[in-house]
Chain A
């Protein structure tokens, strides 16, 4: 079945079974590997992408349910061809958040979604937004610091170039 989807602003026509989870379509058919597989059952958040700005678990989202809606992956959180990092990514580098890094695309997507709807979340709100994302390397304290740093950067509107 031919299905049309929109990822990071680009339309794709795919010949795919509509029950295929979005995660595998993004990774294998579109070739964007920043979105990760961790559990396949909506328990870890490694596969988090945005659907119309809302964070979803792409591992349990059937392709057929997102036809022509706005899907954003880690590769698309800054405007295409822009050479600056997102405030959250920049904050992540300042705080030196990642360790193995495997969970971090999902963490960043969850954090970006949180800050899009709440510009100044408190600790409880951060916990609620982030507790769906597992990090086996235990970067949670730094993720929390990173989110607070991102808030500061957003308020000051400081952008740094990608290759900084």
Chain B
């Protein structure tokens, strides 16, 4: 295979920055074997990474993101198809395989530069730089609510527009007509004056030889045909018949099943394994000892699991065995206090003047909030199928990070990356959990010990106890109010910092702010949990501001509004939430309403919870959600994500809690790790504001807002302020 030269790369990709993968290498005579399987026959042309036009004039759109339920395949394809003026009914969507060419540098660009408006003259440089980074760390991750914001806006739309322009150019040349007189509609090029009309494919060959437009004109909102509408999602027909294939569903000839038990205390090594009782069991195949886990291979998963129960495993002992949940919070409290005593914080944000000496406590209002560890509990338990044969390793998995798997498995097996094939399947929920590579590494390790394909399936217990958890945390606030009762000083100190960096910054007009954090060392592994740091800071900030409002006997909506005069987008979202929830209408006794607003991943969301307390039971009746994501590209999928994020956040706020005992997770399965169910689910009304500002994310932004809206509503109904999550631990009768 010929290497892509930088010239070739710029020549075809450039602005499209599909650049990374665009393909000179895929044009005839220079075809990359890595993308060969995306090209069905010699008559098909790949314009660039994202588009394929077939002889029957269908347009295949190759999406570099995993479908984990958020409808991203449909939404991204829709953005491209709209710019291209492709016939939506003839669009086929396929996911990009985990190949280096598909490294998702859009995401990196978005994450690292945190701004998608690059000056034009910088684009080459930026693309070049990120190409490098992307390749090194093998980034093809779906997360950070980034798919639509970055891949969509920077990649899909530009590719679509540039392809349309290529086709028009090619048609103009062939028909000897001015480009201006031609238009594209539903996968055909039209010449209105003469009534001439030909399918896109007619011009595919000629177009492939042309230089792609480096700076195509994108449609303006009034030209959108598909964007902003709600065509049915293309992945759903298979999901109602049971035919959609998840990682769990892969079946291969000769496949065996594996069940695994990892050290209950994170990371302890296996010291001894006694499997002598297994010999007699029919269908049992083999025991594999990993570094800190033991697996049993058998003819079926149930057999493997039963056999594993009979294996006596000893794990090394270490100090972590003495860790208990109470101790974790004591440690966090201690580390926070020490940082305060020694003034040893990392500053996240500072503005105005913060007095050096301690503020007199009578002038200051203080509150400390606490959140627990959280597990992801994706509906599909972790699993991975691996087969090592003929010097290669094949992996079947549903992953948010297929390229990461490819590179880490290659490292583990000490083979070249090109000898690891990852076939990404539908994800039975991701929420950040499936950006980890742990299960794939285990599967590869086990598969190395046998010639059979191995399907490794975690029990739900293993899934709950060996997650990568949202951290437990404490957040301490101090505020000084001015004569109007508005905060003039806002000090917020907490532990840990992952991303995004702005998660802890309130939107409110407060002249003097100091927001800082310190670190603490936990033995519990950390992972991205839907909305990451926002998942806690939304709760912290929006609880505290609510407390300040009540302290001043002010209406919590009006109080927020008065501090948001400088933020018209926020104000609009907040006002609409108040209006749609009939905020000013009074409620019967024991009912309550709570409001919260928070921006994350570029999307501003306000939610109002309406609930009723009967004895000590909370009945959440209704949630009003207003979101401004700039523009909701696929309207219904966006609404579905708002609903989903709210319900995910409700489970966490009400019940979500992982606790540690003797260094291990105490919860096991859904009986002791409760999930919200249908009978507890409120009515959710979502309203979209299309402000046409920069596009924000959809998958996460509704999650951080629900916990504070809920505790604020409980306060409104009962006068009781809950500062520690989950809510189920709070005795409402106390």
Contacts and interface: CB of A to CB of B under 8 A. Distances in A.
Contacts of A46: 379
Contact of A135 (B239, B379, B381): B379
B153 to A, nearest CB: 23
A43 B669 CA distance: 8
B377 interface: yes
B233 interface: yes
Contacts of A127: 678-679
Interface string A90-133: 00110011111111110010000000000000000011101111
A66 to B, nearest CB: 15
Interface stretch (B105-113, B117-125, B515-523, B640-648): B640-648
Nearest to A100: B69
Contact of A41 (B242, B245, B670, B683): B670
Contacts of A74: 241-242
Contact of A20 (B248, B302, B426): B302
B243 A137 contact: no
B457 interface: yes
Nearest to B636: A96
A134 B675 contact: yes
A67 interface: no
Contacts of A28: 257, 300-301
Contacts of B69: 98-101, 137
Nearest to A34: B242
Nearest to A92: B240
Given A20-B300, A128-B679, A137 B429 contact: yes
B670 A75 contact: no
B251 interface: yes
B640 A100 contact: no
B232 interface: yes
Nearest to B702: A138
B428 A141 contact: no
Q: Which of B300, B457, B459 has the most CB of A within 10 A?
A: B300
B383 to A, nearest CB: 9
Contacts of B282: 17
Given A98-B240, A101-B235, A105-B242, A39 B679 contact: no
A7 B157 CA distance: 47
A136 B381 CA distance: 12
A36 B235 contact: no
B590 to A, nearest CB: 21
Given A93-B237, A100-B68, A102-B379, A33 B251 contact: yes
A80 to B, nearest CB: 13
B60 interface: no
Q: Which of A97, A133, A138 has the most CB of B within 10 A?
A: A138
Contacts of A163: 237
A99 B377 contact: no
Nearest to B235: A101
Interface string A35-63: 11111110110100000000000000000
Contacts of B360: none
A32 B248 CA distance: 12
A43 B670 contact: yes
A144 interface: yes
Given A44-B670, A96-B232, A102 B246 contact: yes
Contacts of B643: 138-139, 141-142
Contact of B241 (A37, A102, A137, A162): A162
A132 B245 CA distance: 24
Given A96-B640, A100-B379, A131-B679, A35 B242 contact: yes
A100 B578 CA distance: 32
A141 B301 contact: no
Interface in A128-164: 128, 130-144, 162-163
A75 B242 contact: yes
Contacts of B379: 36, 38, 44, 46, 100, 102-103, 134-137
Contacts of A89: 240-241
Contact of B242 (A20, A33, A132, A142): A33
Contacts of A64: none
Contacts of B647: 137-138, 140
A81 B236 CA distance: 21
A136 B374 CA distance: 14
B683 A141 contact: yes
B677 interface: yes
A133 B429 contact: no
Interface of B: 68-71, 230, 232-233, 235-246, 248-249, 251, 257, 282, 300-303, 377-381, 426-431, 457, 459-460, 636-637, 640, 643-648, 669-671, 675-679, 681, 683-684
6 contacts: A38-B380, A43-B669, A96-B233, A98-B236, A137-B69, A162-B237
Given A32-B242, A34-B242, A39-B669, 19 more contacts: A36-B248, A37-B457, A41-B460, A46-B379, A73-B242, A93-B237, A96-B236, A96-B636, A98-B240, A100-B380, A100-B427, A100-B429, A101-B236, A102-B380, A127-B679, A136-B429, A137-B429, A137-B647, A140-B677
Q: Which 6 A-B pairs have the closest CB atoms?
A: A34-B242, A138-B647, A100-B69, A102-B428, A101-B239, A99-B69
